[in-house]
Amino acid sequence: MTHTGSLPTSAARRVTAIVALPLVLLAALIAWTVAQHPHPDAHPAAIAAHVTGPAGKQVVLARGDTLWSLARRHGTTVAALQQANHLGRSTLIYAGHHLLLPTGPDTHPRTPYVPGTDRRSAAGPGRTAVDFARRQVGVPYRWGGTGRSGFDCSGLVQAAWHAAGIDLPRTTFTQIHAGTRIVRARLRPGDLVFTHDGRHVQLYAGHGHVIEAARPGTTVGYSPLPPAHAVDAYLRPTPAGRR
């Protein structure tokens, strides 16, 4: 039999298909990568389309952002933000990270929270303490801080109640014993809310929100009242320390 030096037509086609398959897969992989990571010089509309999906668009978190402030700014709720970003019950977010904004009719709060006076605080030292804390909104967090240059969590609470005429101890571990324990249902503005095994304290502001100096890199501001399972104690400062 004479060897012609060439493959039969069917064999040649199989070889061509085997050689071409990796090239097709490589081209598909490159196309997918480009779609997922648009060039930084791409047109803004193209970038906006990239970060917009069925669940909403993404925002880059700035220093001082909180879930509460973002919910107010974008007309949604903290719970909706937590669900869209798989945060569970956590409210921790970090500057520079991306956060997905939910969309849909169920994400808009029916009664947006507006800082104001709770009807249960018509008078008394609790209202005075809350009024003081409200005036500190925007002051930076500073570890060990007790004044307008900065507050930490217990420093803010101590200063607020000092303005109301009651002197509290300096640290959370001593403040947690400086009053009367109460139940969640009896919270009223000015009461103290302790979390993180007593290492953090917040001032209840009414309407399901607290005022706090949360952590470095943030400012004094409003946050949702933590869920009951995350709270160690609710405390109402007693007049025993009144000046």
pLDDT digits (tens, 9 = 90+) for 75-118: 777 778 888 888 877 778 888 888 888 865 434 333 334 455 45
What pLDDT does 137 receive? Answer: 93
Q: Backbone dihedral region of 23: left (phi > 0), alpha (psi from -120 to 50 degrees) or beta?
A: alpha
Please check the confidence at residue 28 and state whether its pLDDT lies above 90: no
State CA 100 to chain mean position distance. 12
- Read off the tokens for 165: 């005429």
Sequence-distant (≥ 6) Cβ neighbours of residue 129 within 8 angstroms: 160, 161, 163, 164, 189, 190, 203
Residue 83 has what pLDDT? 82
Domain boundary among 112, 145, 164: 112
The answer on 136 and 85 residing in a single domain is no
Looking up residue 22, the CATH number of its domain turns out to be 3.10.350.10
Last residue of a domain, one of 83, 112, 141: 112
pLDDT of residue 64: 79
pLDDT band of 205, cuts 50, 70, 90 = very high
Residues 132 and 29 in one domain: no
Q: Are 196 and 216 in a shared domain? A: yes
pLDDT tens-digit profile of 145-196? 998 799 999 999 999 999 999 999 999 999 999 999 999 999 999 999 999 9
Query: What was the pLDDT predicted at 25?
Result: 67
Residues 63, 93, single domain; the answer is yes
Do 142 and 66 fall into the same domain? no
Average pLDDT score over residue span 202-223: 94
Does residue 236 share a domain with residue 129?
A: yes
Q: Are residues 125 and 102 in the same domain?
A: no
The rounded distance, in Å, linking the Cα atoms of 148 and 150 is 5
Residue 64 sits in which domain range?
Answer: 1-112
The average pLDDT across 126-146 equals 94
Kindly state whether residues 207 and 140 are assigned to the same domain.
yes
pLDDT of residue 55: 46
Domain total in the chain: 2
Whether this model's pTM surpasses 0.75: no
Burial of 120 (0-12, 13-18, 19+ CB in 10 A): middle
**What integer pLDDT is reported at residue 102 of this predicted model?**
80
> According to the model, what pLDDT value does residue 14 have?
61
Q: Is residue 129 located within the same domain as residue 149?
A: yes
Are 48 and 102 part of one and the same domain? yes
CB 101 within 8 A of CB 93: no
pLDDT at position 18, please? 60
Residues 237 and 123 in one domain: yes
- Whether 134 and 210 map to the same domain: the answer is yes
Query: In the listed set 50, 77, 112, which residue is the last one of a domain according to the structure?
Result: 112
Q: What is the CATH number of the domain that holds 218?
A: 3.90.1720.10
pLDDT 10s digits, 30-79: 555 444 443 333 333 332 333 333 446 788 888 878 887 787 677 777 77
